[in-house]
Structure 1
Amino acid sequence: MIFELDNVELYFKSHRVLNGIYLKGETGKVTGLLGRNGSGKSSLMDIAFGILKPKYMLIRLNNKPLQQPLYKLKIAKYMPQYNFIPSSMKVAFAFQLYQVDWQAFVTLFNNFEAYKNLRFKGLSGGERRLIEVYLSLKTESKITLLDEPFSHLAPLYIEKIKALILEEKKHKIIIISDHLYPHILDISDTLYLLKNGTTKLINQLTELEDYGYL
Structure 2
Amino acid sequence: MLEVDNIEKYFGNVQLLYGVYLKAAPGKVTGILGSNGCGKSTLLKIIFGTMKSKYKLIKLDGRIIQKKLYTTGLVKYLPQHNFIPDFMSIRKALQLYKVSEAAFQAFFIEDDFDLSQKFGHLSGGQRRIVEVFLTIKTPSRVILLDEPFSHISPIQIEAIKKLIHTEKQQKIIVITDHFYRDITDVSDEIYLIKNGSSKHIQQLSELEDYKYISVGSFF
- In the superposition, the TM-score normalised over structure 2's length comes to 0.94
Instruction: Give the structure 1 partner of residue 217 of structure 2.
Output: none
Q: Which residue of 2 aligns with 1:172?
A: 171
Q: 1:106 Cα shift?
A: 1.9
| 8 Å contact kept, 1:95–1:102 | yes
Tell me what 1:43 maps to: 42
Aligned position for 1:203: 202
State the match for 2:73 in structure 1: 74
The structural deviation recorded for 1:163 is: 0.5
Give the Å deviation of 1:111: 3.6
1:147 aligns with 2:149: no
Give, as a single letter, the amino acid of the residue that structure 1 aligns with 2:54: K
- Once superposed, which parts of structure 1, at least 4 consecutive aligned residues long, lie more than 4 Å away? none
Partner of 1:94: 93
**Letter in structure 2 aligned against 1:92:** R
Q: CA deviation at 1:115?
A: 3.2
**Alpha-carbon distance in 2 for matches of 1:37, 1:163:** 26
Does residue 163 of structure 1 match 2:162?
yes
Partner residue in 1 for 2:127: 128
Report how far residue 63 of structure 1 moved. Answer: 2.3
State the aligned residue count: 213
Letter in 1 for 2:184: L
Q: Distance in 2 between matches of 1:6 and 1:153?
A: 33
Aligned to 2:10: 11
Letter in 2 for 1:189: D
For 1:99 and 1:62, how far apart are their aligned partners in 2?
Answer: 23
Shift of 1:117: 2.2
**Secondary structure, aligned partner of 2:36:** coil
State the distance in 1 between where 2:95 and 2:58 align: 32
CA distance in 2, matches of 1:97, 1:142: 16
Deviation at 1:171, TM superposition (A): 0.4
| Counterpart in the other structure of 2:216 | none
Secondary structure at the aligned position of 1:114 is classed as coil
SS of residue matched to 1:127: helix
Write out aligned runs for 1:100-119 (5 A).
100-119=99-118
* Cα RMSD, aligned residues only: 1.1
Check whether the contact 1:126–1:151 (CA below 8 A) recurs between aligned residues.
no
Q: What are the superposed Cα offsets for residues 68-108 of structure 1, whole Å, 9 maximum, x if unpaired?
A: 22111111111111111011212222112222112222222
Give the unaligned 5+ runs of structure 1: none
SS in 2 for 1:84: coil
Q: Distance in 2 between matches of 1:17 and 1:33?
A: 16
My pick for the range that moved more, 204-213 or 110-119, is 110-119
Cα distance in 1, alignment partners of residues 111 and 162 from structure 2: 18
Which consecutive residues of structure 2, in runs of 5 or more, have no partner in the other structure?
Answer: 214-219
Structure 2: how far apart are the matches of 1:97 and 1:68? 23
- Normalising by structure 1, we get a TM-score of 0.96
Counterpart of 1:63?
Answer: 62
Could you say which residue in structure 1 is the equivalent of 2:136? 137
